[in-house]
Structure 1
Amino acid sequence: MKRGYSQSPSSSTPPPSTRFKSNPEGDSQFLDDDTTKNFARKVADHYSRRTNQTLEEREASPIIHLKKLNNWIKSVLIQLYARPDDAVLDLACGKGGDLIKWDKARIGYYVGIDIAEGSIEDCRTRYNGDADHHQRRKKFSFPSRLLCGDCFEVELDKILEEDAPFDICSCQFAMHYSWTTEARARRALANVSALLRPGGVFIGTMPDANVIIKKLRQAEGLEIGNSVYWIRFGEEHSRKYSDDDSRCILLQKFKSSSPFGIEYVFHLEDAVDCPEWIVPFNVFKSLAEEYDLELVFVKNSHEFVHEYMKKPEYVELMRRLGALGDGNQDQSTLSADEWEAAYLYLSFVLRKRGESDGAQRRGGRRKNGKMNLSKDDVLYIDN
């Protein structure tokens, strides 16, 4: 296993200053580097512990149709924006669940990075076609490179200098893990911008903060949910008062001057059980613009489904994936609670400013990529 790029804080360029005012009292627990790393490690350990499921176990999941719907959304995003021979950077790639999607898009090169060692190892074996019941193809058509490290902490442009520029960057259901501090959020967007070519696209999915806060405002306490998920905020987001001997809990308004480090615990049956962070999309958009990343679109998952299910090719894709049944004998579909859980997410596409230069597109096979990855080929990055 390769290990390198040990980075000390003094060696990295500090993120530029922001127009957002700090809130030391409310954010103090997130501003300590060790605390942030502990949170990142907790998330990494959670995903490392999750083992690959058999097909039977997967189909028995209480959220199987939600998982299939999320796969459909990611597939549509990839089909919309990936082109043959594209070089792809997959941030928080996990166990490599999107490898087949990229293969179908006929990309030319793939680099995946994830903080969880167990996930990277599963991704490596999946790419190689070893002992993976989900693998439909023994070999992928593109060379690959895998890194294990926190892509929201390290300066990836230094590590991937020979691999860049990339044509497309993807971060699926993970961008909110960068929102513990402003520095991490900026590092995430700086990495994307530095590694994308002009005209390159950044596609992703993450929780929809507007929906979460809206639901929370309507709740009696600090928790929302149904039979497949729950979200719980800490007491620091409430205040109590006494009126005629009755006690009420009121949710405090989250301060717009301090949009980072707003933590909650998220539980999704058979999928997620760890801390996450609110990402106000207007702040995300403004911050992205500072790094030359312009919004192409943002759509809540409900809106996304309604729009792209009007197109025959994506209706057929939905049928094949089975989120809404196969349209024939299989009439199973998402439960009402799964559909409500889907409402918690959004999809976004950003494009890096500048005109695309054909000479800059280095799609195809990079010299660092391999068609079969050994454990020693994985580069472990010290944060």
Structure 2
Amino acid sequence: MSQLACPRTESTHHRLHEFAKTALIKIFAHPYASVCELYCGGGLYMDKWDEAQIGHYMGIDVSSSGISQIREACESQRKAYTSEFFELDPCLENIEMHLQEKTNQADLVCCLQHLQLCFETEERARKLLQNVSSLLKPGGYFFGITPDSSTIWAKYQKNVEAYHNKSSSMKPNIVPNCIRSESYMITFEVEEEKFPLFGKKYQLKFASDISGETHCLVHFPSFIRLAREAGLEYVEIQNLTEFYDDNRAQFAAMLMNSGPNLVDPRGRLLPRSFDVLGLYTTFIFQKPDPDIAPPIMTPLLPETSYNHDEREWQGTSRRDDEKNGHTEPPPLGLGKINDQKGILGPGPADLRFSEAL
């Protein structure tokens, strides 16, 4: 076991999460690439960057202990790539002031954990994306994993609706703000009918964990809007169940080797794995390089999308067959991007939104 391996990787949740992050690194990292990892504390993926034969690694984290741990590991293991570390919060501080000539040097910027905490306020999310843009070279990619708010919000709305449809005599036995499965429990602080753009907090606790973690929902249309304002163009936001199905031929063996009870003999996700992976989504943005090719353009959203009364999400559900996860996705609607796959990190098929935002 690696010196930096996570001690809880035996749980279904951690094995699936580590698989997804490893798969993303394998897809994006390439030899001699310059990589910046945000919230890198713990250094859980240093071996993965080593395998990808990157040229330089830059780690940024708000925790001094996390930075110290990963720096010591790099020095003791004598990595093939060069590395440097910075203790700062990319949601609050101006990276250009700290790094100076080191900006616009990264081929890849990744955030494999904690992106959701940046959506506590619009200012924090905006600062993060501005910092990402300043770090990336033209043509570079910003990618990572975050909880899939579409799935979580739809499950929450389903619970609230079921609660209010129950007779009053049964209500004391039900907690409408709590989502439960055999693998996890999600608890919202307050009941709300509409999806706030920023600061909607919830606690996620997996059955294998001693305590839960507090997160904020990521409002994906706002994520895309702020990214574009920072000079980053949307490429894809895709639920991890779809990400796995799209890349099953390449990654099924990796997931099989992660331990038992994750996939069937044909490499298809088992129901519990599908349920856990469905809580997360990938996100991919690119900083356009006008000197190489026409930039990838994020389609313009209608101005009405940002009106206060229209920009909250109304979670709706479709069928009650979440466990198979192999139904054909219905079209999504969001202005001119209704035909693009995964635009809202839509989650498993029965939890997709049936109407345009």
Q: Which has the higher contact order (CA 8 A, sep 6+)?
A: 1
- Name the CA distance, whole Å, in 2 between partners of 1:142 and 1:218: 48
TM superposition shift of 1:338: 4.6
1:83 equivalent in structure 2: 30
Name the amino acid aligned to 2:202.
Answer: Y
1:102 equivalent in structure 2: 49
- 1:341 aligns to 2:276 (yes or no): yes
TM superposition shift of 1:107: 0.7
Q: Structure 1: state its 5+ residue gaps.
A: 1-51, 130-137, 239-250, 358-383
1:190 equivalent in structure 2: 130
How many aligned positions are there? 273
Q: Structure 2: state its 5+ residue gaps.
A: 164-175, 293-357
- Name the CA distance, whole Å, in 1 between partners of 2:267 and 2:5: 20
CA contact (8 A) 1:323 1:334 kept: no
* TM-score for both structures, normalised by structure 2: 0.69
Aligned with 1:347: secondary structure? strand
TM superposition shift of 1:78: 1.6
**Matched ranges for 1:85-234 at <5 A:** 85-129=32-76, 138-164=77-103, 165-219=105-159, 220=163, 221-234=176-189
- Name the CA distance, whole Å, in 2 between partners of 1:320 and 1:274: 28
TM superposition shift of 1:266: 2.0
Name the amino acid aligned to 2:185.
Answer: W
* TM-score for both structures, normalised by structure 1: 0.65
Evaluate the alpha carbon distance shift between residue 111 and residue 54 of structure 1 in structure 2; reply closer, same or farther with a 3 A threshold. closer
**Matched ranges for 1:49-64 at <5 A:** 58=8, 61=10, 63=11
Identity %: 29
Aligned with 1:67: secondary structure? helix
**Matched ranges for 1:298-377 at <5 A:** 298-311=237-250, 314-322=251-259, 336-355=271-290
1:4-52 deviations in Å (ceiling 9; x for gaps): xxxxxxxxxxxxxxxxxxxxxxxxxxxxxxxxxxxxxxxxxxxxxxxx8
Name the amino acid aligned to 1:184.
Answer: R
TM superposition shift of 1:324: 5.8
CA contact (8 A) 1:323 1:333 kept: no
- 2:193 is aligned, of 252, 257, 263, to 252
CA contact (8 A) 1:94 1:116 kept: yes
Find runs of 4+ consecutive structure 1 residues off by over 6 angstroms.
52-55, 325-328, 331-335
Evaluate the alpha carbon distance shift between residue 271 and residue 211 of structure 1 in structure 2; reply closer, same or farther with a 3 A threshold. farther
1:221-250 deviations in Å (ceiling 9; x for gaps): 011122332111113xx3xxxxxxxxxxxx
- 1:278 aligns to 2:217 (yes or no): yes
Question: Could you say which structure has the higher strand fraction?
Answer: 1
Aligned with 2:107: secondary structure? strand
- 1:263 aligns to 2:201 (yes or no): yes
CA contact (8 A) 1:193 1:292 kept: yes
Name the amino acid aligned to 1:253.
Answer: K
1:71-96 deviations in Å (ceiling 9; x for gaps): 22222222222221111110011200
